[in-house]
Structure 1
């Protein structure tokens, strides 16, 4: 069956490959040994092997390597994978490689032409409009949502006080999904209370399918994707996801927001721009809301979970975070927290940044060349897929002494001479538009947990098994022990 599917794939891409004969230029970059027929997907067989395999390729063959899907003489796709700082600086800091890579197209059925995937003038226009939704004054109003939803999380965590361990991943993911839904759409999803479980399940299914399509010769192309069971799972999931967001939009679109003094959600702001300036259609608004929902909850949940893991295993750093909280709020575990308070949590910010260095929620990002580009005396041909291995760059001793150690202090005086060495939110013109939102949300949730609980490692100590899915996760969960503070 696998051989048959591979032959189908080869015939489907034949004419595409005739136009891409200049891929031979990529042979200037070393290619690690791979299966003659299947390429490197025969080695990277699961999401849990991506980090180790790619790290070994980089260590053994150089900072930039060529990987392929398909046979040596007739590849479906060749991809450059890099941890080269100069390459990061060239591509992310310039304007010659702005188009997202081919793998992002697996998200198109869900997110349409939203900000994550779109490019060209369409992307520039939407980026300019959406930037308004992340203005400082807007973010200040979102803090109350972070805090109220976080209070529900604390109630959930109280059930695990003194127990040997708790896997925080699901609890944190439900919390961030509630936050993103209320801030993005102004609607309470209440997933922490067990409501809207079908929506949660659909989000999780789509996140899994997106990454697995990149690792499967059958699922990779649309013309063969329908042969897999995931095609039908995706259809069902998208019906639920799109149906929910569309129903919320329709319930709000006729409401005026002119002169409104109450907090406005991301959706309210987009509808206001659409009504005032007539520049966004309803389907465009839905695509951007779906994009924000996708990008905004799973990445933040990943970050928070790994922060808890790091604090559990580094009690001295956790104590410094706690003392900073006491300096701000005294012994009050549940103070009224403002945006200014969150901004004053300087040491916690260092802890967050150091965790995102070691465990970047988005460990790889991709771009596609839309024309021949010259880099470092080498011509990279049009239609080349480029993967920037952020996880690998973040652990480079060249930029981070003792890179495997958790040292938040390194960010108290971080040398900005190499701005593209630390890119947890990407960089350049296509950086994450919601990074300030994410930082405030993580500070709110983490500070609330630290004020209420001492976070300890489990016995025996829980060892992470990292997996590159839509975001970085641990397939065996992220387990800690919680002890209620007196």
Structure 2
């Protein structure tokens, strides 16, 4: 039987709970409709909660929501959460990302296996980022990346041989190949060779559990961190940990000269003392990060460079002419040397124009406003506001690029008035992509080798603009077919 004391305690707890709940409701409504960000346009539900954004992210629909719905309807500055703003204004982005280098938003922590397991990509701690980047920088220097070219070339030869074998088996009408999947497989093989000492054999065998397990683990992390209530039901992936642990164990047991790949540089960097040391779990997390950053992003950009060329025959003719003239002394079944490729103006213009139209940084470069309210380019951002830079919208702004902004025109890169401060293919500032030299080298090698050796023809009726984005962008259907022949 309840005593008066117990009854009073229950009533008190109930009253306090109601007061706290009403306080939460009042604050939520105030922030949404009367706070400093209330004047910024955006969906009403987003002003009340970040849940709509989280759901879009878990379904891979964030890019579509930003670019196809919010940007056209609300303009350059859109509220996407109670304290989150999507920005497509060049001056604001430059001020926040480049000049002031605002701290990275906590959103990136959603990709960690645990809150304390920071990586180069996921950390929001500027001091940690600076230290980790310094440790890993040798693996991504121009000189070192060039030393990896033979490993990349091995994988690209496998790609060429695979396409050639399909052509030999086909009728005179050419072979129908899944160009998108082949390029994805090639970049995965390449990151295996250059980073971890052996190819995943995706081109030859068509499958390997690791890439799929990586993406499954990422989705699990987003669910666990975005919806904490689900943590007991969403377990970590043991396969990835076992794979990485075995990789590390085998490398450490090697005797004699060890292969100087990215894994070895990470292991060497981790042998420091104190804060400089990396645990095996730290190394495991960086391995997973590099698999994603070194494959999905490069394959996405390389595929779109080729598709843009196939759907613009006059541009395709120009780049083939440049490659044929430069490598007239090289048989078509041999790969060009990057030392010569990197200086070809039209090839580089094609890559830049592709990265403008289809940037791997579709949205990114987020920054949390520092310790005080800030007015940037006339817009008030209260303390704690998270800014998400809409790089895709910057790249597609007629205000910055002209009325032909949505057209594929590599020649624009020969003009002196290119708005470089509205071009962020690898983000910018202290957090620009550490692997951009790796990506550019691989893109040049794949594009040039394929166009020198094969003739490709687009197959109409496919939609390459249907994109999903979880951590990195990809085609929703995960395939795109073209017809291929050997060049005479």
Structures share a fold, TM > 0.5?
Answer: yes
Contact between 1:367 and 1:387, CA under 8 Å: does it hold in 2?
yes
Aligned to 2:409: 407
Is the Cα contact below 8 Å between 2:159 and 2:182 reproduced in 1?
Answer: yes
Change (3 A) 1:222 1:422: same
Give the TM-score normalised by the residue count of structure 2. 0.82
TM-score (normalizing by structure 1): 0.82
Per-residue deviation, residues 422-466 of structure 1 (Å, max 9, x unmatched) = 101001111001111100001111111111211211144655322
Q: Is the 8 A contact 2:296 2:474 kept in 1?
A: no
Deviations 1:245-297, CA, capped at 9 Å, x for gaps: 2211222235578xx5x861011122233447773323333332322222111
Does structure 1 conserve the Cα–Cα contact (< 8 Å) formed by 2:336 and 2:448? no
What secondary structure is seen at the aligned counterpart in 2 of 1:480? strand
Post-superposition Cα deviations, 1:77-131, rounded to whole Å, max 9, x if no partner, equal 54201111011101111344132x3332221018931100122211111112222
Q: Which residue of 1 aligns with 2:318?
A: 320
- In the alignment, what sits opposite 1:152? 158
The 1-side partners of 2:140 and 2:283 are apart by 16
Q: Secondary structure at the match of 2:315?
A: helix
Q: CA 1:314–1:41 in structure 2 vs 1: closer, same or farther (change >3 Å)? A: same
Trace 1:65-104 onto structure 2 (pairs within 5 A): 65-68=78-81, 77-99=82-104, 101-104=105-108
Which residue matches 1:282?
A: 279
Shift of 1:57: 2.6
Aligned: 1:58 with 2:66: no
The alpha carbon displacement at 1:180 in A equals 0.9
**CA distance in 1 between partners of 2:269 and 2:248 (Å):** 14
Deviation, 1:20, is 12
1:438 aligns with 2:436: no
> 1:409 Cα shift?
0.9
Say which SS state the counterpart of residue 86 (structure 1) adopts: helix
- 2:348 is aligned to 349
> What secondary structure is seen at the aligned counterpart in 2 of 1:399?
helix
**Structure 2 residue 269 is matched with structure 1 residue 273:** yes
Q: Alpha carbons of 1:272 and 1:35: their partners in 2 closer, same or farther (altered >3 Å)?
A: closer
Q: Which runs of 5+ in 1 are unaligned?
A: 1-10, 69-76, 214-218
CA–CA distance in structure 1, aligned partners of residues 203 and 175 of structure 2: 22
Gaps of 5+ in 2: 1-19, 168-172
Does residue 190 of structure 1 match 2:194? no
Contact 1:371 1:381 in 2 (8 A): no
Aligned to 1:455: 456
Equivalent residues in 2 for 1:118-129, closer than 5 Å: 118=123, 119-129=125-135
1:171-221 per-residue CA deviation (whole Å, 9 max, x = no partner) reads: 21111111112211223322323376221221232455567x5xxxxx663
Q: Within 5 A, what are the aligned runs for 1:121-270?
A: 121-161=127-167, 162-163=173-174, 165-194=176-205, 197-207=208-218, 213=223, 221-226=226-231, 231-232=234-235, 235=236, 238-255=237-254, 264-270=260-266
Q: 1:358 to 1:336 in 2, by over 3 A?
A: closer
- Structure 1 equivalent of residue 113 of structure 2: 109
Question: What is the alpha-carbon distance in structure 2 between the residues aligned to residue 44 and residue 268 of structure 1?
Answer: 38
- What SS does structure 2 have at the residue aligned with 1:415? coil
- Is the alpha carbon distance of 1:338 and 1:159 closer, same or farther for their aligned partners in structure 2, counting shifts above 3 Å? closer
Contact 2:29 2:48 in 1 (8 A): no
CA contact (8 A) 2:83 2:384 kept: no
Residues 205-250 of structure 1 show CA distances to partners (whole Å, capped at 9, x for unaligned) of: 2455567x5xxxxx6634223376xx24xx2xx3222221221122
* C-alpha distance in 1 between matches for 2:26 and 2:192: 42
Q: Structure 2: how far apart are the matches of 1:351 and 1:166?
A: 23
Take 1:275 and 1:34, find their aligned partners in 2: how far apart are those partners?
49
Give per-residue Cα distances to partners, 1:39-62, cap 9 Å, x unaligned.
782995953474355444333323
1:478 corresponds in structure 2 to 480
**Kept after mapping to 1: 8 A contact 2:152/2:193:** no
Alignment partners' CA distance in 1, 2:75 and 2:335: 51
CA 1:372–1:317 in structure 2 vs 1: closer, same or farther (change >3 Å)?
Answer: same
Partners of 1:180 and 1:297 within 8 A in 2: yes
Supply the RMSD in Å over aligned alpha carbons. 3.3
Equivalent pairs counted in the alignment come to 450
Change (3 A) 1:256 1:104: farther
Report if the CA contact (8 A) 2:335-2:445 is conserved.
no
Q: For 1:301 and 1:17, how far apart are their aligned partners in 2?
A: 48
Partner of 2:3: none
Q: Is the 8 A contact 2:36 2:382 kept in 1?
A: yes
- How far apart in 1 are the matches of 2:340 and 2:394? 32
